Amino acid sequence: MSLSRPRAVLFDWDNTLVDNWGAIRGALNAALREFGQTEWTLDQVHARVRRSLRETFPEIFGAEWARAREIFYKSFEAGHLEALAALPQAADLLAAIDVPKAVVSNKQGRLLRREAEFLGWSGQFHRLVGAGDAERDKPDPAPFDLARVGLELHEKDVVWYVGDTGLDMQGAHGSSCVPILVGNGMGDDLLLERYPPALRVPDLGGLLGVWRGL
């Protein structure tokens, strides 16, 4: 499909540019164990972890969600950097994209920025927006608007949003970004039908090829 060269590219973080699922699963299961709940498999974590913690934890833990949050972050911060890995060709793609780049993630903002610094990527991005940085979290337009601040974009300028889930595509549609899906959408068929991507690529190498062909 023919795409216009964008003036900026926004990215999701987890499972789009990096793999940190082991640390996420470990921290979530630490909280579930504390409250006597059944631990989640990695496939269940992949399927269920979409929205930000401040939206999902009240549903999972009810009135005790704030204490569960403390347990989660204590566990996560103890090992998330050691478990963090850039996805194949992520660094090559970021180096090739010669327009401003930013991140819109539902990972807590301070942890997102710590991970980018750990990978040596902080300088790659105009802005790193995580959960809690804007008034509302993805898929709401608020974090996308925050990511655009300072980019001097005009209303008709093309901006891509690259993500791996139906929620990412929903966020892209709602914030007037061109939705680019990496991977198979992780079973989000209904969301993807409602919020279809403008382009689907199997992996970051596929997106790098598209970029080089623009």
Could you report the per-residue pLDDT of 50-101, keeping only the tens digit for each?
A: 777 888 899 999 999 999 989 988 998 898 999 899 999 999 999 999 999 9
Is residue 13 over pLDDT 90? Answer: yes
Average pLDDT of the segment spanning 129-145: 96
Q: What is the largest CA-CA distance in the chain?
A: 52
Residues constituting the chain: 214
Give the integer Cα–Cα distance in Å for 196 and 202. 15
Closest to 13 in 3D by CA, of 153, 157, 125, 136: 125
- What residue ranges in the chain does DSSP mark as E strands? 8-11, 18-19, 85-86, 101-108, 127-131, 159-163, 178-182, 199-201
Confidence of residue 156 (pLDDT cuts 50, 70, 90): confident
Give the integer Cα–Cα distance in Å for 3 and 105. 24
